[in-house]
Chain A
Amino acid sequence: MTRREFLKLSISGMASFTLSGMFGSRLEAGEARAKREFMGVLVDTTRCIGCRSCELACAEAHGLPIPNIDDASVFSSPRNMDPSHWTVVQRYKTEKGEIFVKRQCMHCNQPACVAACLVRAMKKREEGPVTWDENCMGCRYCMVSCPFDVPKFEYDKAFGRIMKCNMCYERLRIGKIPACVEACPSEALLFGRRRDLLHEAKRRIYGSTGRYFPHVYGETDVGGTGYLYLSAVPFERIGFRTDLGTKAYPEYTTGFLYSVPIVLILWPAFLTGIHHLTKEKKRKEVER
């Protein structure tokens, strides 16, 4: 290979690399997307018994520290997800007794973290999961953006990672269902196509009057989420934010993002125009 050919090759290689960075993920997935629908999980909090089997299964599936699930004292103080707990079960005391709520990433249809990521380390997979990649810079903008405060960062490590539930994406790809769903002994968790889960959720609500609060959390909240919740009590009583609205979070930035190309086209033209007008004026002054 001559030097020239080599150069040519490497330049075109670089160009295609760069371009594929910009469009690649869409082009290759373009056809498959049309067929594939989001998968999701329906969490029926009225069925959850607080056994924390899901926590154990999650830790095993992702190589996290194994929790001691026999220790019920963890419920006494409020507990949240952290880098070594991708999912936690919380206990709420309500007028309808103790309610257990499993928490993890909600896997939004239009995730704020994905829109926020400047290197596309966060990805919304067409199967539904929101996953994290190693090319992350650790800027933690996803943590600022996420309406549910899900992504957690390993601050204490020199090589920290963003840690969060990935809906067992690696298991989905080989045809398995998420570890937590598999481990649930009380059928509080149901894995399936999001479309079907919604049907099922509504069937449960309308099928048994009074058992459920008539709202499927995640159906429309923040534009829809992959994890859907059923509850016996209003959702704000079991720690859900109900003030987030139904607009998908990335849409809050569209006003700015869509105006960027417009500004970059109009401003330079406008400024150049002003510059030449004032220069003209200045010249006239000098001439006079």
Chain B
Amino acid sequence: MEGFTYVDIFATKGIEYILVIFFLMLFLLFASLTFRSKGGTKAVGRELRSGLSLWFRVPEFLYYHQGHTWVLPEGEKIAKVGVDDFAQRLVGKVDGLELPKRGSEILQGEKALRLKVEGKEIEMLAPLDGEVVDINEEVLRNPSRMLEDPYGDGWLLRVYSPNLRANLRNLITGHLARRWIEMVRDNLLSRMDYRLGLVLQDGGIPVEGMARGLDRERWDELVREFFLTKE
């Protein structure tokens, strides 16, 4: 090193760079394994459903009709329509669905959907005006999809709505939506009998088809009351 022989001060650089490449590949694997094991899709979904505080999911970015249908604007005049989580839980397993035909007109606040549950038919209101341009065939074929993912795969209609903006103004969204669903829940709680109460105290959730838990005989009447379609 005193300057009479050559010393390569970068002698190990090549090996270091190879090591770094090796590290990066290994890290990719390592990180993906570490981070994946924690919160898989399914696990999170289940967690959401079982949490007491999360009785009813109300994503704040959607627009809700008080008859428990939702709207997701997809463009200036196009929106998706579905049924909210509360409705699913209240009704429980849906055996069949009746949706308006493609090309038919629906009107905000008018009856538009029909659910078939245990031989009973329950109607729901359209959350906006417009022409039905698409319906979710997948859910028609397999209505339980609606229950599994009410805000995603469980969507029902795609609607062309010329006055979407005006329609949205009549709907509830954001924090208000959460406040609203809390009120609905309190309303529901006040009608609950002790059997359901017990379920709740040990940390359970309102089982699917809560309406039946409340009133075996006239549950459909109760549902219509919540869906604002009671005659």
The short answer to whether A and B are in direct contact, CB under 8 Å, is: yes
Determine the main DSSP class of B at the interface with A.
helix
Given contacts A22-B14, A261-B19, contact A254 B8 (CB under 8 A): no
Q: List residues of chain A with CB within 8 A of the CB of B44.
A: 283
Q: Which residues of B contact A125 (CB under 8 A)?
A: 6
Contact status B3-A224, CB under 8 Å = yes
Q: Please judge, given known A-B contacts A38-B5, A264-B24, A287-B54, whether A23 and B14 are in contact too, CB under 8 Å.
A: yes
By a CB distance below 8 angstroms, the chain A residues around B59 are 286
Q: Is the CB of A126 within 8 A of B31?
A: no
- Given known A-B contacts A195-B4, A287-B54, A250 and B9 have beta carbons under 8 A apart: yes
State how many angstroms separate the Cβ of B184 from the closest Cβ of chain A: 18
Q: In the bound complex, what is the Cα–Cα distance between A277 and B212 (angstroms)?
A: 42
In angstroms, Cα B131 to Cα A269, docked, is 51
Interface contact A110-B9, CB-CB below 8 Å: yes
Residues on the A chain within 8 Å of B10, using CB: 115, 250, 257
Chain A nearest Cβ from B137, distance in angstroms: 28
Interface string of A268-280 (1 = CB under 8 A from B): 1100100010000
Closest Cβ–Cβ distance, residue A224 to chain B (whole Å): 4
> With A22-B14, A223-B3 known to touch, is A268 a contact of B27 (CB < 8 Å)?
yes
Interface size classification for chain A? 20 to 34
CB <8 Å contact, A109 and B9:
no
A236-265 interface (Cβ within 8 A of B): 248, 250-251, 254, 257, 261, 264-265
The B-contacting residues of A in range 165-221, CB under 8 angstroms, are 193-195
Contact between chains at B23 and A38 (CB < 8 Å):
no
Checking B3, B7, B14, B18 against A194 with a beta-carbon cut-off of 8 angstroms, the contacting residue is: B3
Contact A109 B48 (CB under 8 A): no
Cβ–Cβ < 8 Å partners of B3 in chain A? 38, 109, 194, 223-224
Which chain B positions have C-beta within 8 A of A265?
20, 23
Taking a contact as CB atoms under 8 Å apart, the answer to whether A268 and B16 are in contact is no
How far, in whole Å, are A136 and B7 apart by their CA atoms in the complex?
Answer: 23
CB distance from A248 to the nearest CB of B (A): 8
Contacts of B48 in A (CB 8 A): 287
The answer to whether A124 touches B6 (Cβ under 8 A) is yes
Residue from A126, A250, A264, A276 within 8 A of B35 (CB atoms): A276
CA distance A248 to B15 in the complex (A): 23
The residue on B at minimum CB distance from A128 is B6
In the complex, whether A26 has a CB less than 8 A from a CB of chain B is: yes
Q: Of the candidates B5, B19, B20, B31, which one forms a contact with A37 in the assembled complex, judged by CB atoms under 8 Å apart?
A: B5
Q: How far is the CB of A223 from chain B (nearest CB, A)?
A: 7
CA–CA, A283 and B18, complex, Å: 37
For A195, what are the chain B residues with a Cβ–Cβ distance below 8 Å? 4
Give Cα distance in the complex from A251 to B10, angstroms.
Answer: 10
Q: Are A261 and B17 in contact (CB under 8 A)?
A: yes
Contacts of B17 in A (CB 8 A): 261
B59 to A, closest residue via Cβ: A286
A101 to chain B, nearest CB (A): 22
The complex places the Cα of A167 from the Cα of B20 at a distance, in Å, of 38
**What's the nearest-Cβ distance from chain B to residue A233, in Å?**
25
Measured CA separation A232–B188 after assembly (Å): 105
Per-residue CB proximity of B1-43 to A under 8 Å, as 1/0? 0011111111101111111100110010001000100010000
In the assembled complex, the CB of B7 is this many whole angstroms from the nearest CB of chain A, namely: 8
Docked Cα-Cα span, A287 to B69, in Å, equals: 20
B216 to chain A, nearest CB (A): 33
Is A36's CB within 8 Å of the partner chain B? yes
Would you give 13 A-B contacts (Cβ < 8 Å), ordered by A? A23-B15, A33-B6, A126-B5, A193-B4, A194-B4, A257-B13, A261-B19, A264-B20, A264-B24, A269-B31, A276-B35, A283-B39, A283-B44
* 9 residue pairs, one from A and one from B, having the closest CB atoms: A224-B3, A22-B14, A261-B16, A264-B20, A37-B4, A109-B3, A261-B20, A195-B4, A272-B31
Additional A-B contacts beyond A22-B18, A194-B3 (15; CB < 8 A): A22-B14, A22-B15, A23-B15, A37-B4, A115-B10, A125-B6, A193-B4, A194-B4, A250-B10, A257-B10, A264-B20, A265-B20, A268-B27, A272-B35, A283-B44
> Which B residues fall within an 8 A CB radius of A?
3-11, 13-20, 23-24, 27, 31, 35, 39, 44, 48, 54, 59
- A: residues with CB less than 8 A from B are 22-23, 26, 33-34, 36-38, 109-110, 115, 124-126, 193-195, 223-224, 248, 250-251, 254, 257, 261, 264-265, 268-269, 272, 276, 283, 286-287
